Amino acid sequence: MISEREVESIAKLADIRIEKEELGEFTVQFNAILEYFDVLDRVEAAGEGRADLVNVFREDKVRPSLPVEDILANAGSTEDTFIKGPRVM
């Protein structure tokens, strides 16, 4: 079982804010789902890995990208060719 406090702390890690009045229901649903996930305890931890997968690499070459103005068009707040975000400090 995880507590309302733990749910609040997970929400914070995920940059989501849960309203106080929603926290109780969220926690109940969260626990019901986690209880269902317990079926995974029956899976042997050391399963066999995949040997048949290969990585797909390419040379890191500079290629044409999208026009800067097209990208900036979707941003809420811009200055020159920059996108403005919230304060870091």
Site string for other proteins, 18-57 (x = CB under 8 A): xx------x--xx-xxx-xx-xxxxxxxxxxxx-----x-
- Grouping H, G, I as helix, E, B as strand and the rest as coil, residue 67 is coil
64 is an interface residue for other proteins by CB under 8 A: no
* CA distances in angstroms from 78 to 15, 65, 74, listed in the order given: 23, 19, 10
Closest distance between other proteins and the C-beta of residue 20, in Å? 12
Of residues 24 and 75, the one with the C-beta less far from other proteins? 75
